[in-house]
């Protein structure tokens, strides 16, 4: 039962298309795609050269719910219908892990631009009965026929769009396997039951909302290349459906039903698998039936760090998120932050980001393929060495910390946080990578495929389509998982805990870092999600910040220290947070005001 809706803030903004390819443009559509009204494909929209006029306004709302003490089941997700799907499953006797299946599956239907059966992600789990923490790695895998240079032409240059649009851009999905695994190993209810809300939503439809409509508009040209994707998301004449139009996905409902009836086999084998492979190959992709049949979720030990007595549990490789957040916190742990004025505090956080992102770029990849110095990167001694190069009064140019350039990855993803009444919890960040993924939907499946192959270094050492550069550790190889920034995390202290995560490509890491610091400073869940963000990722050597993240005085002081500051024309992220205060029993669930999600407490 929903107890109280506390905040419903409305922010309306007219947003203009950006005039050049930039990080801001990449992220802008991650959150507010409606601002990009052009019929652009992924690349030109990322470049965001002015095209069609932007719609007048895009509304962003926040809904935060605070529970009375004693009630502590909560869900925060990026769309109300998905939170409600989780609520339904909790009410039917499911636990947090069953609710994670219901929420993820509902998001696949109602937020198809961000995640789905055709994608993958990471589920961070905590089982209350024995305090067990684990991470389900449901990241997409490169097909067995993938090769290091598969997106390069004969001259060794990246082939336009090849790693972002169409079936060649798609890795073997992991999300359906995660549903089956969650239900069998951790859930209380059969998969069949937890998938019901999503099947109903897919069959009966849901009304088109502004952010999704903006995304459809933005990706229209790519969707038109796939007859089934066009049928699912466009009008019969190829136009964008009007707001409120019922989006029904009967084929997706059938695929979900096959999964419900047969478990993972219903997706990875049999008729669905045959249709997926036939469609992918007809569109120029390289999947085989064997790739699908061989897909497995891998259970991995999460990374655990400590910061001033708080325990940080976060995603391990092939996500770079946990290691980068813990590395940054280790660096900061040697500073008495409250002692400093606000500009110096932000300077120190920025310097910790610079160093953590550098390490991310150099060392990380799929742990099954590369050896990584994880113990070193997460160690306090290593952090002490990094800290010793930080001056409290001066920025250090990234060029003095040589390494490999890192840049934001991806454009759209989704996160949810769940706590059940028994104290089990899930932080899930799931994705199909760019907005609407590859844009390709194999006929008869209703499954929109990811373009997560673009998270690999398409050409190690050379920028790819989106300006990304990576190391050999993240080069393409058959059956390998690409490096991710997704950082589902738990922050635990003596007084309580926070479940946190967000979409936002490489910005995810700095968001989770700021969220952690803010929670530890005593901020409420609502304040954590709305906090104006700043970000430094080693290269480009600049601090990007949202309006309101820095005061005029801080801007002057940071510039005087040598930082290059860049006000972003956009906001980024769509953070979903649950907090639980042990003493009072108060649980708070907050959804980022930059999106239209909802936090519910029962
Ligand atoms: O795994 C990753 O890091 C990316 N595929 C995530 C993309 C993303 O978060 C884009 N969000 N706005």
Measured from the Cα of 455, ligand 1's closest atom is 5
pLDDT value, residue 33? 29
pLDDT value, residue 29? 30
Torsion region of 467: left, alpha or beta (phi above 0 gives left; psi -120 to 50 gives alpha): left
Question: Is 504 a pocket residue for ligand 1 (Cβ < 6 Å)?
Answer: yes
pLDDT value, residue 44? 26
pLDDT value, residue 13? 22
Are 72 and 587 contacting, i.e. CB atoms less than 8 angstroms apart?
yes
Question: Is 30 a pocket residue for ligand 1 (Cβ < 6 Å)?
Answer: yes
pLDDT value, residue 24? 32
Catalytic center residues: 413
**For residue 53, what are the contacts with CB-CB under 8 A and spacing of at least 6?**
37
pLDDT value, residue 64? 54
Query: Is 63 in a helix, a strand, or coil?
Result: strand
Within 10 angstroms of residue 480's Cβ, the number of other Cβ atoms is 22
Are 480 and 143 contacting, i.e. CB atoms less than 8 angstroms apart?
no
Ligand 1 centre to CA of 430 (Å) is: 9
Question: Is 505 a pocket residue for ligand 1 (Cβ < 6 Å)?
Answer: yes
Question: Is 445 a pocket residue for ligand 1 (Cβ < 6 Å)?
Answer: no
Cα 602 from Cα 589, distance rounded (Å)? 10
Question: Is 454 a pocket residue for ligand 1 (Cβ < 6 Å)?
Answer: no
> Which one of 28, 321, 413 would you pick to mutate in the ligand 1 pocket, going by the greatest count of ligand atoms within 8 A of its CB?
413
Which of 538, 484, 557, 434 shows the shortest CA–CA distance to 36?
A: 434
Cα 322 from Cα 318, distance rounded (Å)? 10
**Hey, what are 170's tokens?**
């798609």
pLDDT value, residue 525? 97
Are 214 and 17 contacting, i.e. CB atoms less than 8 angstroms apart?
no
Question: Is 413 a pocket residue for ligand 1 (Cβ < 6 Å)?
Answer: yes
pTM above 0.95, yes or no: no
Are 102 and 193 contacting, i.e. CB atoms less than 8 angstroms apart?
no
> Which one of 29, 360, 431 would you pick to mutate in the ligand 1 pocket, going by the greatest count of ligand atoms within 8 A of its CB?
431
Residues of the chain where predicted confidence (pLDDT) is lower than 70: 1-71, 402-411, 460-471
**Hey, what are 182's tokens?**
């969650």
pLDDT value, residue 402? 65
Query: Is 396 in a helix, a strand, or coil?
Result: coil
Measured from the Cα of 31, ligand 1's closest atom is 12
Ligand 1 centre to CA of 337 (Å) is: 30
Annotate 104-164 with DSSP letters as a single string.
HHHHHHHSTTT--TT-EEEEEEEETTTTEEEEEEE--B--TT--TTTTB-TTSPBPTTTTT
pLDDT value, residue 463? 53
Q: Which helix (H) or strand (E) holds 355?
A: helix 342-363
pLDDT value, residue 460? 66
Cα 303 from Cα 378, distance rounded (Å)? 9
The alpha-helical segments, DSSP class H, found in 521-594 are 525-530, 552-561
Question: Is 408 a pocket residue for ligand 1 (Cβ < 6 Å)?
Answer: no
């Amino acid at each position: 039962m929903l107890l109280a809706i506390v905040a419903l803030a409305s922010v309306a903004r007219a947003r203009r298309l950006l005039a050049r390819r930039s990080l801001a443009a990449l992220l802008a559509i991650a959150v507010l795609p409606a601002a990009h009204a052009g019929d652009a494909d992924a690349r030109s929209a990322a470049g965001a050269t002015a095209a069609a006029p932007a719609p007048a306004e895009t509304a962003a709302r926040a809904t935060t719910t605070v529970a009375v003490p004693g009630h502590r089941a909560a869900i925060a997700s990026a769309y109300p219908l998905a939170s409600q799907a989780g609520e339904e499953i909790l009410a039917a006797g499911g636990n947090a892990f069953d609710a994670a299946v219901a929420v993820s599956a509902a998001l696949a239907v109602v937020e198809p631009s961000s995640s789905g059966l055709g994608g993958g992600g990471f589920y961070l789990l905590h089982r209350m009965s024995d305090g067990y923490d684990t991470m389900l790695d449901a990241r997409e895998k490169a097909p067995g026929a993938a090769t290091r240079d598969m997106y390069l032409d004969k001259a060794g240059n990246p082939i336009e769009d090849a790693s972002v649009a169409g079936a060649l851009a798609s890795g073997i999905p992991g999300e359906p396997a995660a549903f089956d695994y969650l239900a069998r190993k951790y859930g209380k209810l059969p998969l069949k039951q937890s998938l019901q809300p999503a099947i109903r939503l897919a069959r009966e439809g849901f009304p088109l909302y502004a952010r999704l409509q903006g995304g459809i508009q933005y990706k229209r040209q790519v969707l038109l290349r796939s007859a089934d994707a066009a049928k699912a998301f466009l009008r019969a004449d190829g136009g964008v459906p009007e707001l409120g139009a019922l989006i029904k996905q009967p084929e997706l409902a059938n695929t979900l039903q096959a999964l419900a009836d047969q478990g993972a086999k219903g997706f990875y084998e049999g008729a669905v698998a045959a249709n997926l492979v036939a469609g992918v190959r007809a569109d120029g992709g390289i999947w085989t039936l064997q790739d699908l049949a061989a897909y497995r979720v891998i259970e991995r030990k999460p990374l655990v760090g400590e910061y001033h007595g708080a325990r940080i549990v976060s995603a391990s490789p092939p996500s770079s998120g946990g290691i980068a957040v813990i590395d940054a916190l280790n660096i900061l742990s040697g500073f008495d932050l409250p002692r400093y004025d606000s500009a110096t505090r932000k300077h120190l956080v920025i310097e910790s980001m610079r160093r953590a992102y550098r390490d991310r770029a150099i060392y990380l990849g799929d742990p099954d393929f590369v050896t990584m110095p994880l113990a070193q990167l997460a160690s306090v001694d290593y952090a002490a060495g990094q800290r010793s190069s930080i001056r409290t009064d001066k920025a250090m140019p990234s060029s003095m910390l040589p390494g490999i350039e890192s840049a934001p990855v991806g454009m759209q993803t989704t996160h949810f946080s769940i706590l059940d009444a028994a104290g089990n919890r899930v932080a899930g960040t799931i994705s199909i990578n760019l907005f609407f993924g590859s844009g390709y939907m194999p006929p008869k499946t209703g499954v929109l495929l990811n373009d997560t192959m673009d998270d690999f270094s398409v050409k190690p050492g050379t920028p790819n389509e989106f300006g990304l550069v990576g190391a050999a550790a993240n080069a393409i190889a058959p059956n390998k998982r690409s490096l991710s920034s997704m950082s589902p995390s738990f922050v635990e202290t003596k007084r309580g805990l926070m479940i946190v995560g967000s979409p936002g490509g490489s910005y995810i890491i700095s968001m989770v870092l700021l969220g952690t610091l803010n929670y530890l400073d005593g901020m409420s869940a609502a304040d954590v999600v709305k906090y104006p963000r700043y970000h430094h990722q080693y290269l480009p050597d600049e601090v990007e910040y949202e309006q309101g993240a820095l005061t005029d005085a801080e801007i002057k002081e940071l510039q005087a220290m040598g930082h290059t500051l860049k006000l972003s024309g956009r906001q980024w992220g769509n953070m979903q947070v649950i907090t639980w205060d042990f003493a009072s029993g108060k649980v708070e669930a907050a959804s980022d005001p930059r999106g239209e999600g909802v936090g519910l407490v029962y």
